[in-house]
Amino acid sequence: MAIDQAEIEQILNISIEEQAFSGVISIRQKDHVLYARAAGYADRSNKIENSLETRFGIASGTKFFTALAIGKLIEAQKLSFSTPLKDCITLDFPRYSQEITIQHLLTHTSGIPDYYDEDRIEDFDNVTLSIPWYSLRGPKDYLATFPDEAMKFAPGERFSYSNGGYILLGVVIEELTGMKYQDFVEQAIFKAIGMNHSGYFALNKLPEKTAMGYVEEENSWRTNIYNLPIVGASDGGAFTTVDDITTLWKVFWGYQILPKELVEIYAQPYVKAETEGEHTYYGHGLWICEKEDCNREEYIIGCDAGVSFMSTVNRVNEMQVTVISNTTDGAWSMLRDIDATLKEESVR
């Protein structure tokens, strides 16, 4: 694959300016950086610029960390994919199936009604729950928002993206470890593999070099502090950097987080995600795109009020693309331009 770095830089720099992109972009092939740039502001009011070291929220990209934490517990033989949820925690929802397993939760095939059902939400910038966002500090806090409704379908029947399913995995992690979910992930994942700038930070107490999230309004903007849980939990809300994401992929594919047999299970298509596209599948905490040329990409993705994020890995050409924006939609148009540019370069 012939890559003209100068041309990529020229094209993407123009795209950043035209779109007023705010965030960070990293394109790597093998261990070589093809493009890396930060743009926009981490703090608009004080005109503090984003940098390659800035920490950004990644919304549902956090689910991969939860899946890895569950994998650590599977490796330690504290549970298995087939372990029933009812054997791990007690839920006061009699209409939820007793047949739900850990694997169902990991793969979005549990069928539970979702407290944050993305199929029903029309305005992601202004979602409200039955309790204030500032009350949500850990997975167990979310149970008060769970709908007491009948199952969507029998466990294992099909795919339906479920934030609530990953909240339940967070509760399982706390029950089996005796630790706060965030503390276990920070210890077993972040610190263990060298993701030294990642964490679960309160929105009203962000550390230095952390970007605030912004919601664009007509001729104005606002921060997302009143639109998200005050502290991220097992379905979203972690903060990280592009370098830490690079570390994550390197260590994951190097079998340094989970053993090879679990990595292969996580990265294999488990269920077709028909609502997400013809070639889109879900594994265990990972999305998989099976392209027509048998070229597979694994990726993690997140979007929320003031957050848009995607990081993809193509193990055939060893290309890794990460885009994180501290705006609701900022990442998507940049990802389209990057994809088009890389495709054009590959056919030269």
How much is the pLDDT for 104?
A: 98
Q: Which domain holds residue 48?
A: 5-346
- pLDDT-based confidence at residue 275 (cuts at 50, 70, 90): confident
How much is the pLDDT for 346?
A: 64
pLDDT at 348 over 80: no
pTM above threshold 0.85: yes
pLDDT at 131 over 50: yes
Average pLDDT over residues 82-110: 97
Interior CA angle at 202 toward 201 and 208, to 5°? Answer: 60
Length of the chain equals: 348
Average pLDDT over residues 262-290: 93
Q: What are phi and psi of 265, to 5 degrees?
A: -65, -45
Read off the CATH number of the domain in which 88 is found: 3.40.710.10
Average pLDDT over residues 232-255: 98
pLDDT at 163 over 70: yes
Give the total number of structural domains in the chain.
1
Quick: pLDDT tens for 22-40. 999 999 999 899 999 999 9
Average pLDDT over residues 213-238: 96
Which residue type does 245 have?
I
Alpha carbon 170 to chain centroid distance?
Answer: 15
The DSSP code sequence of 98-151 is TT-BHHHHHTT-S-PPPTT-TTT-S-GGG---SS-GGG--SGGGGGGGS-----
| CA distances in angstroms from 20 to 6, 23, 216, listed in the order given | 21, 10, 12
- pLDDT-based confidence at residue 2 (cuts at 50, 70, 90): low
Mean pLDDT (the chain, rounded): 95
